[in-house]
Structure 1
């Protein structure tokens, strides 16, 4: 039986991320991405109201507490870290903690509990997030390209910039992209 809840695996070392992905896939979970930076996760989770991020403590671009702030409330996080890190901070909402060394059955059991709680949530919507139109996708790509050229940043950094500005100002990603485009083209 396959899980209908999307999972993203995030570890700074690609090999560890792949191994965890393989374990989850063999256990019936739908892993939609393997990432090595938090920015990749934020980009993949855009528009999703629920899902699970299985991750380590620290990545090249931020630590898990910062990533948690960028994710919607419906996204659960399974943090795999040493006991020392877990003892420091164990009270964040929507974060489930597993200590190293990781036991496969503990991860699978935790994942099944989370999927069950998400699936049984009466507020769960039965529809997928609204897909962006071709024009909206072209606008986002154009604004990212402008930001990349003007600021000499990567595509991920450009996307994160648009997303952060959108969240900070309380407007949609598309509206923010339009505003940024206007400010850059005049």
Structure 2
């Protein structure tokens, strides 16, 4: 579940924005008045959105943006001058904040954070060096024994993996076991 963290120097302003978002159907919203409190909350969750002003008592928004975990988006709230100085990499809305703009922007950004998180979860995890060695050794044996190119050996392991419904590391281990058992 994603979280929305509202970090503004005046806690009353943060609570006001929290109340607006709650009234518009958002859940899991935390308000705080320091960047360190925002970071503590962000590190408790896997994804979300940080709404921040230009300068908090303990940190500048750009420092906060660098410190927030992956799968968190950042929304800057500030004057037109502040927002224009922020550059193009940060999503921002100007003060005075219009409720319609705030709600739509938060909805868009929370959706983006959720999408990035789900996309990253679908990526296969990185193989360990040991797992890479199993595949490499199986390829080398297939290349030597069956006179295959490296690409053909890889494709063979990949096809066997798909046909048997096992991952490539398990298939490479089976290939190694079969070839060594023949010797």
Q: Give the shorter-chain TM-score range.
A: 0.5 to 0.7
| Bigger radius of gyration among the two | 2
Aligned to 2:53: 56
Q: Given the alignment of the two structures, is residue 76 of structure 1 paired with residue 70 of structure 2, yes or no? A: no
Count of paired positions = 121
Structure with a larger share of its residues in helix: 2
Question: CA 1:58 to 1:106, structure 2 compared with 1: closer, same or farther past 3 Å?
Answer: same
Please identify, of 31-40 and 114-123, the stretch whose mean Cα deviation from structure 2 is larger: 114-123
Task: State the TM-score, normalized to the length of structure 1.
Answer: 0.60
Out of 3, 7, 11, the residue aligned to residue 10 of structure 1 is 7
Task: State the TM-score, normalized to the length of structure 2.
Answer: 0.61
Deviations 1:124-165 (A, max 9, x none): 549xxxxxxxxxxxxxxxxxxxxxxxxxxxxxxxxxxxxxxx
Aligned to 2:119: 123
> CA-atom RMSD, angstroms?
1.8
Asked if the contact 1:10/1:53 (under 8 Å) is kept, the reply is yes
Q: Given the alignment of the two structures, is residue 22 of structure 1 paired with residue 41 of structure 2, yes or no? A: no
In structure 1, stretches of 5+ residues that fail to align are 127-186
- Taking the aligned partners of 1:46 and 1:106, their CA distance within structure 2 comes to 27
Q: Given the alignment of the two structures, is residue 98 of structure 1 paired with residue 93 of structure 2, yes or no? A: yes
- Taking the aligned partners of 2:91 and 2:42, their CA distance within structure 1 comes to 18
Deviations 1:1-34 (A, max 9, x none): xxx4210111110110110000011111123421
